[in-house]
């Protein structure tokens, strides 16, 4: 089998194990959907100021939760599951088989992207069906590009962060500490239009707020045009490339003792 | 094509100031079961991991199935099987799925049912790894190592943590692999395991091979027989003049001798003259463990904690 076929096969097994692991399935998959429901229940009827006019909270939260879904499925999922696999010696053992390293990591990434894709479909469908969100048919290319660039970057960052995770026990803590505060200040859990300027400046160093911005733009009915946010996409891509560089340099297959 | 599965000459490895492996030479023939013995920290795992391709060497020539393992070629990894000390399989897949997953990495895998049967997990084949006992997980490790039908199998401490029955079963399994013509490179802390399974053993101490040969030959170099008994009350002078008699305060005597027949004749004669019994008399040939302890035992810094106390208790059980 070639590398791509091996990666696909690996992804299928990783997926099967993923659904059977209650912690992984819950925190990666159920969490974003739960947040979508909670935010819409709490804020559902209100409106919020957005570029161009007032939008419903649902129109804010659907793209926000889309961003969270991709981050959860790619960054959180890969960082935690790869740290566990490394600690349990799975990575070392894989390294001893003829399977190319790229096929193994490719399989992990495919599995993460597949989970992200399922979440994206559910979140958009729920938004359109239950929350009256307008499907941005005319901005579909921009939506697709944003999701692809975001997924790629957060997969790379998920692999990169394993370099600073000392062991599996520490993995959830390190991953959540690196991501949760940013989710609160990056226009995802809470709209940050009222936040102080310095906080928004700080948040804009990181890729999450840019990822949110590309998706908010796509779903904002007042923003006409193609919906591409070149500058934001560039920042996300830059973070992704930095993630690749760190992963290539510091990724290890041996358990850390 | 050489008939050596493993050919190591002058292997060296250092970690900073520590010279972990200092010029090791080893040759293992095809279809041989070879055991590498040594205390923790002697360089055992380092040496094995270099042969497996998991570590880089600093010096020396290494050929494994004709390959240089340091180059980690795919063709090389297709022909070896590795069972590491740690478990290292996905907990949420079943036995069957795990073996099938690993079979897919190899060009000529061993049939699924055969692999599962060989390690005795047929009844657990639909059980998830997380629900297996420790011994069963270790068997699955071996199954994963066998999935690609390797010519050479590395087993790193395969029975550590097993209960006695599980160890016997594992030994039967390893003998079964030997019958299939596999070359097996084993490391172990258990001398009885090496004695039963291995055609030849090497003892490594502080990064050097200090003894090499079949268990029988090594035991033969340990020419002394051990005579042990308890001096009965009122039988003073029983061991007077016997060289090498070690009398303990609790009245137990151990005599290590190259002349067991003569010494026993003398002792039994004296006991009969005095009308006493030689309490708890045992006569035991040296074992591989005695040989091992002779080579590594004088090195308290490296001696593994479990080796020392087991010495007396095992001998008592061997009468």
Contact B190, B225 (CB under 8 A): no
Contact A27, B130 (CB under 8 A): no
Token pair belonging to B154: 């590395």
Measured between beta carbons, the chain B residues lying within 8 angstroms of A254 are 54
ipTM, interface predicted TM-score of the complex = 0.89
Q: What is the spatial distance between Cα A168 and Cα A166, in angstroms, rounded to a whole number?
A: 7
Higher pLDDT, B275 or B236: B275
pLDDT for the residue B232: 84
Nearest to A98 among B54, B78, B93 (CB): B78
pLDDT for the residue B182: 92
Where along chain A do its domains lie?
A: 3-250
pLDDT for the residue A105: 94
Measured between beta carbons, the chain A residues lying within 8 angstroms of B101 are 10, 13
pLDDT for the residue B29: 95
Other Cβ atoms less than 10 A from the Cβ of B194: the count is 26
DSSP string, B14-73: EETTEEEEEEEEEEEETT-EEEEE--TTSSHHHHHHHHHTSS--SEEEEEETTB-GGG--
CA triple A178-A183-A184, angle to 5 deg: 115
pLDDT for the residue B314: 37
Q: What is the spatial distance between Cα A211 and Cα A67, in angstroms, rounded to a whole number?
A: 7
A97 contacts B93? CB cut-off 8 A: no
Residue B138, pLDDT > 90, answer no
Token pair belonging to B160: 């550590």
Q: Pick from B265, B276, B278, B264: which is nearest to B226 by CA?
A: B264
Token pair belonging to A30: 């159920």
**Interval B40-75: pLDDT, tens:** 888 898 999 999 999 999 999 999 999 999 999 999
DSSP string, A171-200: HHHHHHHHHHHHHHHTTSSS--TTS-HHHH
DSSP string, B149-199: --SEEEEESTTTT--HHHHHHHHHHHHHHHHTT-EEEEEES-HHHHHHH-S
Higher pLDDT, A179 or B289: A179
Q: What integer is the mean pLDDT of B100-108?
A: 95
pLDDT for the residue B2: 64
Measured between beta carbons, the chain B residues lying within 8 angstroms of A99 are 105
Cα–Cα separations (whole angstroms), residue B84 to A90, A246, A254, B107: 10, 28, 12, 22
- Phi first, then psi, for residue B92 (nearest 5°) are -100, 5
Contact B203, B38 (CB under 8 A): yes
Contact B262, B182 (CB under 8 A): no
DSSP string, A73-129: IIIIHHHHHHHHHHHTTHHHHHHTSSS-HHHHHHHHHHHHHHHHHHHHHHHHHHHHH
pLDDT for the residue A66: 97
**Interval B195-233: pLDDT, tens:** 999 999 999 999 999 999 999 888 888 777 888 888 888
**Interval B67-83: pLDDT, tens:** 999 999 999 999 999 99
pLDDT for the residue B244: 77
Query: In which residue are the tokens 């027989």 written?
Result: B225
**Interval A123-176: pLDDT, tens:** 999 999 999 899 998 999 999 999 999 999 999 999 999 999 999 999 999 999
Measured between beta carbons, the chain A residues lying within 8 angstroms of B148 are 97-98
Question: For residue A95, what is the nearest residue in chain B, using CA coordinates?
Answer: B54
Q: What is the spatial distance between Cα B292 and Cα B203, in angstroms, rounded to a whole number?
A: 7
Residues in chain B: 319
Token pair belonging to B69: 């393992």
The terminus-to-terminus CA distance of chain B in angstroms comes to: 48
Question: For residue B70, what is the nearest residue in chain A, using CA coordinates?
Answer: A96
**Interval B142-173: pLDDT, tens:** 899 999 999 999 999 888 777 888 788 889 98
Token pair belonging to B172: 């039967």
Q: What is the spatial distance between Cα B105 and Cα B77, in angstroms, rounded to a whole number?
A: 10
> Of A14-18, A223-227, B47-51, which gets the smallest average pLDDT?
A223-227
Q: What is the spatial distance between Cα B225 and Cα B64, in angstroms, rounded to a whole number?
A: 39
Contact B5, B64 (CB under 8 A): yes
List residues of chain A with CB under 8 Å from any CB of chain B.
1, 6, 9-10, 13, 16-18, 20-21, 85, 88-90, 92-93, 95-100, 254-255
Contact B142, B173 (CB under 8 A): yes
Measured between beta carbons, the chain A residues lying within 8 angstroms of B104 are 1, 6, 9
Residue B310, pLDDT > 70, answer no
Q: What integer is the mean pLDDT of A74-81?
A: 96
pLDDT for the residue B297: 74
Question: For residue B53, what is the nearest residue in chain A, using CA coordinates?
Answer: A96
B82 contacts A255? CB cut-off 8 A: no
How many A-B residue pairs are in contact by the CB < 8 A criterion?
Answer: 69
Q: What is the spatial distance between Cα B247 and Cα B193, in angstroms, rounded to a whole number?
A: 31
pLDDT for the residue B82: 93
Measured between beta carbons, the chain A residues lying within 8 angstroms of B105 are 6, 97-99
Where along chain B do its domains lie?
A: 4-215, 220-316
CATH number for the region B4-215 comes to 3.40.50.300
Which DSSP category does B94 fall into?
Answer: B
Longest dimension (CA), chain A: 58
């Amino acid at each position: 089998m070639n590398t791509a076929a091996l990666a696909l096969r690996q992804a299928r097994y990783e997926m099967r194990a993923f659904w059977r692991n209650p912690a992984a399935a819950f925190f990666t998959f159920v969490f974003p959907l739960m947040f979508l429901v909670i935010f819409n229940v709490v804020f559902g009827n209100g409106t919020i100021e957005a570029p161009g006019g007032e939008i419903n909270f649902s129109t804010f939260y659907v793209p926000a939760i889309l961003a969270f879904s991709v981050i959860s499925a790619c960054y959180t999922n890969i960082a935690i599951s790869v740290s566990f696999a490394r600690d349990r010696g799975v990575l070392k053992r894989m390294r001893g088989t003829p399977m190319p390293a790229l096929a193994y990591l490719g399989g992990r990434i495919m599995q993460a992207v597949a989970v992200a894709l399922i979440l994206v479909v559910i979140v958009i469908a729920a938004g359109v069906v239950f929350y009256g969100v307008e499907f941005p048919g005319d901005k579909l290319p921009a939506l697709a590009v944003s999701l692809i660039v975001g997924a790629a970057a957060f997969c790379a960052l998920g692999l990169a962060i394993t370099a600073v995770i000392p062991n599996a026990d520490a993995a959830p803590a390190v991953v959540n500490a690196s991501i949760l505060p940013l989710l609160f200040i990056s226009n995802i859990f809470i709209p940050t239009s009222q936040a102080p300027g310095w906080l928004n400046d700080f948040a804009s160093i990181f890729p999450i707020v840019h990822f949110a911005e590309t998706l908010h733009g796509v779903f904002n009915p007042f923003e006409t045009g193609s919906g591409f946010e070149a500058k934001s996409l560039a920042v996300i891509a830059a973070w992704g490339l930095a993630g690749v560089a760190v992963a290539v340099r510091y990724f290890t297959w041996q358990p850390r003792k | 094509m050489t008939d050596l599965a493993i050919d190591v000459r002058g292997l060296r490895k250092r970690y900073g100031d520590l010279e972990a492996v200092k010029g090791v030479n080893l040759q293992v023939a095809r279809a041989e079961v070879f055991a590498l013995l040594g205390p923790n920290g002697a360089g055992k795992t380092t040496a094995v991991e270099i042969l497996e391709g998991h570590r880089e060497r600093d010096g020396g020539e290494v050929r494994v199935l004709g390959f240089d393992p340091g180059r980690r070629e795919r063709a090389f990894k297709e022909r070896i099987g590795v069972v590491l000390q740690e478990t290292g399989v996905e907990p949420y897949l079943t036995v069957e799925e795990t073996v099938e997953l690993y079979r897919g990495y190899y060009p000529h895998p061993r049939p699924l049912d055969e692999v599962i049967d060989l390690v005795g997990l047929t009844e657990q084949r639909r059980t998830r790894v997380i629900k297996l006992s420790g011994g069963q997980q270790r068997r699955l490790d071996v199954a994963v190592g066998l999935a690609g039908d390797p010519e050479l199998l590395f087993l790193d401490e395969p029975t550590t943590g097993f209960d006695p029955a599980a160890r016997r079963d594992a030994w039967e399994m390893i003998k079964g692999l030997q019958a299939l013509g596999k070359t097996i490179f084993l490391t172990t802390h258990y001398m009885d395991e090496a004695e039963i399974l291995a055609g030849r053993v090497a003892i490594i101490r502080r990064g050097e091979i200090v003894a090499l040969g079949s268990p029988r030959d090594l035991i033969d170099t340990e020419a002394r027989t051990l005579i042990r008994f308890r001096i009965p009350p009122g039988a003073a002078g029983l061991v007077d003049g016997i060289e090498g008699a070690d009398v303990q305060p609790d009245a137990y005597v151990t005599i290590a001798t190259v002349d067991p027949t003569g010494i026993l004749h003398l002792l039994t004669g004296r006991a009969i003259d005095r009308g006493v019994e030689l309490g708890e008399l045992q006569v035991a040939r040296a074992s591989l463990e005695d040989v091992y302890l002779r080579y590594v035992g004088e090195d308290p810094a490296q001696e593994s904690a479990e080796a020392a106390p087991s010495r007396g208790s095992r001998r008592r059980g061997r009468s």
